[in-house]
Amino acid sequence: VDDLTRAYQAATPRSGELHQEFRRVLPAGVTRSVAHFDPYPAVLVDGRGCLVHDIDGNEYIDVLNNYTSLVHGHAFAPVTERVRAAMESGVVFPAPHPAQLELARAITDRYPAARQVRFTNSGTEAALLALRIARAATGRSIVVLFDGGYHGSVGELLDRGPHTRRAPYNNVDALGQVVDDSVAAVFVEPFLGSGGVIPADPEFLRELERRCHATGALFVFDEVQALRNAPNGTHALLGLAPDLLLMGKIIGGGFPVGAVGGAAGLLAVLDGELQHSGTFNGNVATMTAGIAALDALDASRIATLNGRAKQLSSELAAAGRATGLDVTVSRAGSIMHVHVPDQQVSALHLALLMEGIYAAPRGMLNLSTALDDNTIDRVGRAYAAAFKRVAHSRTTVATGSDG
Ligand SMILES: Cc1ncc(COP(=O)(O)O)c(C=O)c1O
């Protein structure tokens, strides 16, 4: 056990004890694979704005924001106030509700690719539904996915299957071989999100769109993460007109959500041919939270988030270089990824926790509107200190001393 692990265990004894209890009743002790890390994840008990606390009383600045979904941080007052009020009069009905109309209007007003919208409970479900729509609309079965891409936790979109084809991301030359007239849909993100926040070359996306149009394959643009980065979505920013738009995360204001947007003509399959249900689709808590969150995410807030992220990412890269580590920082809008060599990824994550920063174990971080300039300065200083810890632990390993 190295120094950083020992320090983390010393700071989080209660989480350590509880981990055994969690493991008894939850596989791996968690409810999603990404929530686990070694030696065990700290048990979080509250979140306010940009701060979270664990059960041992440690405070962290949250730059993970539940994997980009909490764009306004935790317990954002406009969301909690509206949801609390809605709770008083019932939060789920097997019927149309005005809150569904309000959120659907907010989405269709904002995102040009979403002329109509069908709500789901997660981005994963939205991706599955888009695949069904594409197959119904084209009568074809093949789906093209890109290496490093992620469209949710479902076998057919994760693995190689009989109906999936994979292609390298950002490689225009490979498109001709994979996108042909047997393809129902091509799923692509504007940047590889869980694949390391690697932005697409806009020309790659444009060529892909052209190729889809030429072959009749549906161009499915996955903005589950990217939606927060541009007022009208990244598709509008890049001048793309996807057939289907996958949405999620921020449009639920922190509650479980997903949605498929598209032209009315295409979504018309849901008006008969294709059955699509979900007990909690369009529930009032999610709809209400989504309305409040989108309302508060106007163009100027997005510009501020993106500007701060740009500044922070260059500071983090400089701080990394100053310690002699091989650090690079990639960014798309307000989402960043700090890349270090594989053998230092978990050390950096633990070092960040010890410096009071809650980031993704894999290296991703993102900003929320709850972070002000002062707090972002603290984040920068904490990363600099964490890089030093990693550089130091590397030195001690290299010299054979375990301190
Ligand atoms: C690009 C992208 N698509 C789809 C999903 C799946 O969304 P969910 O986790 O809500 O199922 C994610 C989740 O991280 C994502 O980043």
Measured in Å, residue 359 CA sits from the centre of ligand 1 at 17
Pocket of ligand 1 (CB under 6 A): 67, 122-124, 127, 150-152, 189, 193-194, 222, 224-225, 248, 258
pLDDT band for position 396 (cuts 50, 70, 90): low
pLDDT of residue 397 exceeding 80, the answer is no
pLDDT at site 393: 85
pLDDT band for position 159 (cuts 50, 70, 90): confident
Measured in Å, residue 251 CA sits from the centre of ligand 1 at 12
Q: pLDDT over 70 for what percent of the chain? A: 97
Ligand 1 atom with the shortest distance to the CA of 258: 10
Tell me the pLDDT tens digit for each residue of 235-256.
999 999 999 999 999 999 999 9
Q: pLDDT over 90 for what percent of the chain? A: 95
pLDDT of residue 395 exceeding 90, the answer is no
pLDDT of residue 85 exceeding 80, the answer is yes
Q: Give the count of beta carbons closer than 10 Å to the beta carbon of residue 195.
A: 16
pLDDT of residue 117 exceeding 90, the answer is yes
For CA atoms 99, 104, 107, 108, give the dihedral sign: negative
pLDDT of residue 193 exceeding 90, the answer is yes
Tell me the pLDDT tens digit for each residue of 53-74.
999 999 999 999 999 999 999 9
- Output the residue whose Cα is nearest ligand 1's atom 3: 151
Where is average pLDDT lowest: 61-75, 151-165, 178-192, 204-218? 151-165
- What's at 164, amino acid-wise? T
Measured in Å, residue 122 CA sits from the centre of ligand 1 at 7
Spatial contact of 293 and 254, defined as CB atoms under 8 Å apart: yes
Cis peptide bond N-terminal to 78, omega within 30? no
Ligand 1 atom with the shortest distance to the CA of 226: 1
- Distance CA(219)–CA(99), nearest Å, equals 29
pLDDT at site 161: 86
pLDDT at site 398: 46
Q: Maximum Cα–Cα distance for the chain, whole Å?
A: 69
- Output the residue whose Cα is nearest ligand 1's atom 5: 152
pLDDT at site 160: 82
- Distance CA(103)–CA(258), nearest Å, equals 12
Measured in Å, residue 71 CA sits from the centre of ligand 1 at 15
pTM score of the predicted model: 0.96
The rounded radius of gyration (Å) of the Cα atoms in the chain is 22
Q: What is the mean pLDDT of the chain?
A: 96
Tell me the pLDDT tens digit for each residue of 2-14.
999 999 999 999 9
- Distance CA(72)–CA(61), nearest Å, equals 13
Ligand 1 atom with the shortest distance to the CA of 222: 1
Best residue for ligand 1 mutational test, from 31, 146, 225, 227 (most atoms within 8 Å of Cβ): 225
Region 287-304: mean pLDDT is 98
